Chains A and B, each alone.
Chain A
Amino acid sequence: GIQVEQSPPDLILQEGANSTLRCNFSDSVNNLQWFHQNPWGQLINLFYIPSGTKQNGRLSATTVATERYSLLYISSSQTTDSGVYFCARGGAGSYQLTFGKGTKLSVIP
């Protein structure tokens, strides 16, 4: 079936450090999204990025659809960035998003 693999599974950062999270997907994609789930469980959409690069403040994302991967960059990390980051994909003609297992990020002061 459709697979979405995220790495690393866990990441611990000192406040102020930068990080890169990776998402590999097994099939073509026309809908690729990044989400952040905070420690209280609230899931927030960060980016819709089936291809190309987008930036929003300290966060940016790049998807290379031909090579079937997407990257999420976090610069100058803050403790509020802690939580789980999910990558989710939808295939052509499908409205269903398939989520990866997530990367758990802990930013320590």
Chain B
Amino acid sequence: EAGVVQSPRYKIIEKKQPVAFWCNPISGHNTLYWYRQNLGQGPELLIRYENEEAVDDSQLPKDRFSAERLKGVDSTLKIQPAELGDSAVYLCASSFGAGGPGDTQYFGPGTRLTVL
């Protein structure tokens, strides 16, 4: 069974440029998560989808970040325009259930973003 797929694995951009990350969750997983992990820190949730509905986006900086999950499968996270402080690893995860107790989250390999 394929795991969570993310692309690209690495991205280097100039500040003020746009960037997009793509995630394909494990087949059959209804819930999809985007996390940001800064250097030396644990992951922080940006947004959680149940099927195609964003049910928790309180941590998403909505002035420059946007996300979509069309048809409840693949998801795209976009930053426009990127700032220096956006340099981080962006992790996608998926789970079969809604993410409550006992619901294991499976993580992708991440996209390492460097903003120059």
Which A residues are closer than 8 A to B by beta carbons? 4, 30-31, 40-45, 48, 50, 86, 88, 90, 95-97, 99-102
Contacts and interface: CB of A to CB of B under 8 A. Distances in A.
Interface in B45-103: 45, 48, 55-56, 89, 91, 93, 98-102
A99 B44 contact: yes
B110 A97 contact: no
B78 to A, nearest CB: 22
Contacts of A88: 42
B100 A95 contact: yes
A95 B48 contact: yes
Contacts of A41: 89, 109-110, 112
Interface residues of B, number: 24
Given A48-B102, A95-B100, A101-B40, A43 B45 contact: no
B7 interface: no
B107 A43 contact: yes
A45 B105 contact: yes
Interface of B: 40-45, 48, 55-56, 89, 91, 93, 98-102, 104-107, 109-110, 112
A44 B100 contact: no
B98 A45 contact: no
A96 B41 CA distance: 17
Contacts of B112: 41
Contacts of A31: 100-102
A4 B41 CA distance: 12
Contact of B43 (A44, A45, A95, A99): A99
A90 B42 contact: no
A7 to B, nearest CB: 14
